[in-house]
Each structure stands twice: as structure tokens, then as C-alpha cells.
């Protein structure tokens, strides 16, 4: 990778090396010799300064006269004085540039010390963040295990809710069938009761009619007995018949009493079915209460899961913060290179 800047001394050494090799020290040749480092404008400026400082190169020795030699010596002296002046000026420029470089180096060192302090603080912060990250990772692992356990618990509760729902549906269907059976039984009992009531009324009316007929016959027979003793035997026979009819009527009444007892038994059975319906309703209410309790537990577990998801999101945010700090450290720690003076 090319360096950010080059020095005049490096350009001068590259130029001298190219001249020693018999190569023209052009800008591109000097830049290649420097390893493709430095801008062409900087290399051109340094080459121009070096050529101005060196002046025209000395040619080879030739035979000259003494006058020409004196002239050459005079010119050489003048050139030497001019060169010394230029060297003095260049030295002053170099001293000023070196002082400026020293100031830049001091500022760079100060910045480097500041960067080192910041780096130390960031390293301490990073160590704390790594510790917190490890704690967060441990907590995250624990939370994931707890979440898995709670998820399994929610699954179990859901299965129990489904089973309770199936059981509740079955009980509701049984309760519906029991109500329908009870209603059917009540309707049958009502129809049977109405039928027996109508039969009983018909029998009572028939007996009343027979009694009335017997009373009329008895009255007639008594009158006939008063009128004639001969009719006594016939009346006695009719009375015997009437007594037989009365016994049959009593037998019918006894049967009616039996029907009434059966009706009472049906009423007791209906009451037992009513109690069974009440018990089924109470069981259904208990199941509804239990289902509501399970739904409340599921709601609480869902709230816990949401809280754990919030904690998990916070942990992930802390991981992202640690990555951002690591990236910040990478960008805030540049390599500071202090080049030696020319």
C-alpha cells in the first residue's frame, strides 16, 4: 500500500540512483523507483528544487588555456558563492520546514496520546461490555430454556383446554339429550295422565249414572214392595245385581287408585330426573369455571412470554451495541506513522 507522503531526500536519492544507472530521472521514473508512491506534482516540485540547488552539472575535463582557466575559476567562485547563498537559503527553508515538521510531530504525538487514552477507556468499556455480554448470553440461554419450558407448558395447557372443550361439548350434548328425554318423558306422562284422567272421568260418570239408575230402580222397587210382596223376590234379585255392580265399581275404584299410585311413582321418577339435570348443570358450571381458570393461566403465561420476548429483544440490542462499539474502536484507532526528517 502506498504511503500518504514522500520526502525530498527520498526523491533526491531516487534521482541520484537513476542518474547512476544512466536513466533519465523523469517524474514517472522517479515515482516507479519510489514504489509508485507520492503524487506527480510533489515529485515535480522536489525535482525542480533539487535541480535549482545543484545548478548545471559539471561536464568532462578538457584542455583549456590559462586565461580560460582563470575565467572558469572566477565563474566557479561566483557559482560557489551563489551556491553557498542558495544552500544557506535552502538550509533556512529546511530549518523552518523541520521546525514545522517538529510542531506537526508534537501535535501528532499529542493526538496519539489522546487516542491512546481514548483507546484505553474504550478497551475498559469493551471489557465491561464483554462481561455484560457474557452475562446477557447466560441470561439469554436461561430465558430461552425458560421460554421453551413455558412453551411446552402452554402446549400442555392448550391440550388440556382442548380436552376440556371436548368434555364440555360431550357434557352439553348429554345435557341436551337429557333435557330432550326429560321433555319427552314429561310429554308422555302428561299424555298418559290426560288419558287416564279422561278414562277416570268417564268411569266416574258411568258409575254415577249407574248409581243414579240403581237409586231410581231401588226407589221403584221399594214402591213396588210396598204395593206388592210378590215383587219382593224380584226386587231382592235386582238388589243383588246392584250390589254386584257396586262391587265392580269398587274394583274399578281400586284400579283407579293403582293408576294413581303409578302416577305418583312417575312423578317421583320425574323429580329424580330433575335432580339429575340439576347435578349435570352444576357439573357443567364447574367445568366452565375450571375452563375460565385455565384460560386465565394461558393469558398469564402469554403475558410472561411477551415480557421474555421484550427481555430477549433488549439482549439482542445489547449485542448490536457491542458490535457497534467494536466497529467504532476499529475506525477510531488509525495507524500513526512518524517519518524521520530529511
Q: What is the pLDDT of residue 320?
A: 73
Residue 137 has pLDDT above 70, yes or no: yes
CB-based burial, 161-173: b 16+ in 10 Å, e otherwise:
beebeeebeebee
Residue 120's Cβ-count burial label (10 Å; 0-12, 13-18, 19+) is: exposed
Residue 166's pLDDT band, with cuts at 50, 70 and 90, is very high
Q: Which of 306, 295, 284 is CA-nearest to residue 157?
A: 295
Residue bearing the bigger pLDDT, 172 or 314: 172
Provide the percentage of residues in the chain whose pLDDT is more than 70: 79
Cell of 80: 560557489
**pLDDT per residue over 263-303, tens digit each?**
688 678 778 877 876 887 787 788 678 767 767 876 887 68
* Confidence (pLDDT) at 149: 92
Give the three cell numbers for residue 198.
Answer: 279422561
251 φ, ψ (degrees, to nearest 5): -60, -40
pLDDT of residue 342: 37
**Which tens digits make up the pLDDT trace of 191-234?**
988 888 888 888 888 888 887 887 787 778 777 767 767 766 77
Can you read off the three cell numbers belonging to residue 325?
Answer: 462499539
Q: What is the pLDDT of residues 60-107, one digit of tens each?
A: 443 345 567 556 656 755 676 677 788 888 888 889 999 998 898 998
What one-character-per-residue DSSP string does 162-194 give?
HHHHHHHHHHHHHHHHHHHHHHHHHHHHHHHHH
pTM, whole model, 2 decimals?
Answer: 0.23
Q: Determine phi and psi for 276, rounding to 5 degrees.
A: -65, -40
Q: How far apart are CA 2 and CA 28, in angstroms?
A: 15
Phi-psi region of 150 (alpha: psi -120 to 50; beta: other; left: phi over 0): alpha
Please state, in angstroms and as integers, the Cα–Cα distance from residue 301 to each residue in 85, 154, 163, 202, 306, following that order. Answer: 93, 7, 19, 71, 9
Question: Are 129 and 321 contacting, i.e. CB atoms less than 8 angstroms apart?
Answer: yes
Give the tens place of pLDDT for each residue, 2-41: 455 788 899 999 999 999 998 888 889 999 999 998 888 8
Q: How far is 232 from 238, CA to CA, in rounded Å?
A: 10
> What does the CA dihedral 87, 89, 93, 96 come to, rounded to 10 degrees?
110
Three-state DSSP at 305 gives helix
The pLDDT assigned to 62 comes to 39
Burial (0-12, 13-18, 19+ Cβ within 10 Å), 322: middle
Which of the two residues, 240 and 329, has the higher pLDDT score?
240
- How far apart CA 248 and CA 240 sit, in angstroms, is 12
How do residues 34-62 score in pLDDT, each as one tens digit? 999 888 889 999 999 988 887 655 444 43
Amino acid at each position: 500500500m502506498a504511503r500518504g507522503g514522500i520526502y525530498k531526500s527520498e526523491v533526491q536519492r531516487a534521482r541520484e540512483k537513476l542518474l547512476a544507472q544512466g536513466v533519465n530521472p523523469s517524474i514517472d521514473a522517479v515515482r516507479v523507483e519510489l514504489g509508485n508512491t507520492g503524487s506527480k506534482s510533489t515529485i515535480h516540485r522536489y525535482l525542480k528544487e533539487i535541480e535549482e540547488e545543484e545548478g548545471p552539472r559539471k561536464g568532462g575535463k578538457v584542455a583549456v588555456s590559462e586565461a580560460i582557466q582563470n575565467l572558469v575559476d572566477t565563474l566557479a567562485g561566483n557559482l560557489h558563492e551563489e551556491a553557498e547563498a542558495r544552500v544557506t537559503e535552502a538550509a533556512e527553508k529546511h530549518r523552518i520546514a523541520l521546525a514545522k515538521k517538529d510542531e506537526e510531530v508534537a501535535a501528532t504525538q499529542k493526538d496519539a496520546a489522546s487516542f491512546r487514552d481514548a483507546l484505553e477507556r474504550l478497551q475498559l468499556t469493551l471489557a465491561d461490555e464483554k462481561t455484560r455480554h457474557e452475562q446477557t448470553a447466560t441470561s439469554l440461554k436461561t430465558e430461552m430454556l425458560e421460554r421453551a419450558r413455558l412453551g411446552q407448558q402452554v402446549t400442555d395447557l392448550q391440550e388440556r383446554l382442548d380436552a376440556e372443550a371436548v368434555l364440555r361439548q360431550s357434557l352439553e350434548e348429554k345435557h341436551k339429550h337429557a333435557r330432550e328425554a326429560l321433555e319427552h318423558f314429561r310429554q308422555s306422562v302428561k299424555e298418559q295422565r290426560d288419558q287416564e284422567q279422561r278414562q277416570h272421568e268417564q268411569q266416574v260418570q258411568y258409575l254415577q249414572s249407574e248409581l243414579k239408575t240403581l237409586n231410581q230402580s231401588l226407589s221403584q222397587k221399594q214402591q213396588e214392595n210396598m204395593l206388592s210382596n210378590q215383587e219382593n223376590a224380584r226386587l231382592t234379585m235386582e238388589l243383588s245385581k246392584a250390589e254386584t255392580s257396586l262391587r265392580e265399581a269398587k274394583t274399578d275404584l281400586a284400579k283407579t287408585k293403582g293408576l294413581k299410585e303409578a302416577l305418583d311413582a312417575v312423578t317421583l321418577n320425574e323429580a329424580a330426573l330433575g335432580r339429575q339435570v340439576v347435578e349435570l348443570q352444576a357439573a357443567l358450571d364447574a367445568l366452565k369455571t375450571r375452563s375460565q381458570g385455565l384460560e386465565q393461566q394461558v393469558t398469564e403465561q402469554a403475558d410472561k412470554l411477551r415480557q421474555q420476548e421484550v427481555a430477549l429483544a433488549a439482549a439482542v440490542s445489547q449485542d448490536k451495541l457491542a458490535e457497534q462499539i467494536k466497529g467504532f474502536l476499529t475506525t477510531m484507532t488509525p495507524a500513526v506513522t512518524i517519518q524521520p526528517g530529511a
